[in-house]
């Protein structure tokens, strides 16, 4: 013996299924919109940071000059050290000119 008519039981079950599918669609839309907004914010932040770090042509030229100056100074130091090595004796002992 059932306390609920079969037609009423079917109606309640179908109504609950529709409510469940509506709730799932609602949650899916919320998740999709929030993920879309989050992704957009991340992309905009990355692009903004990259744009701000980009050097202007004057800054690029100054940086290249600094590199060239550094390289030339290292070459000059190397040449000076090589010249000193070639001028010194093989043993590295001082000359005996007082004897």
Domain ranges in the chain?
A: 1-54, 55-90
In our burial notation (b when 16+ CB lie closer than 10 A, e otherwise), range 70-90 reads eeeeeeeeeeeeeeeeeeeee
CA dihedral sign of residues 16, 18, 22, 28: positive
Whether 55 contacts 63, CB under 8 Å: yes
pLDDT of residue 92: 59
Report the largest interatomic distance among the alpha carbons of the chain, rounded to a whole angstrom.
134
pLDDT of residue 66: 96
Q: Which stretches of the chain score pLDDT less than 70?
A: 1, 87-99
pTM, two decimals, is 0.51
Start-to-end CA distance of the chain, whole Å, equals 134
Q: Give phi and psi for 68, each to the nearest 5.
A: -65, -45
């Amino acid at each position: 013996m059932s306390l609920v008519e079969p037609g009423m039981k079917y109606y309640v079950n179908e109504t609950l299924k529709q409510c469940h599918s509506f709730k799932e669609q609602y949650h899916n839309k919320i998740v999709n919109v929030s993920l879309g907004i989050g992704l957009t914010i991340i992309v905009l932040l990355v692009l903004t940071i990259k744009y701000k770090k980009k050097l202007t042509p004057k800054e690029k030229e100054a940086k290249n000059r600094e590199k060239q100056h550094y390289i030339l100074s290292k070459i000059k130091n190397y040449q000076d050290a090589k010249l000193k090595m070639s001028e010194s004796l093989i043993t590295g002992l001082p000359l005996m000119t007082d004897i």
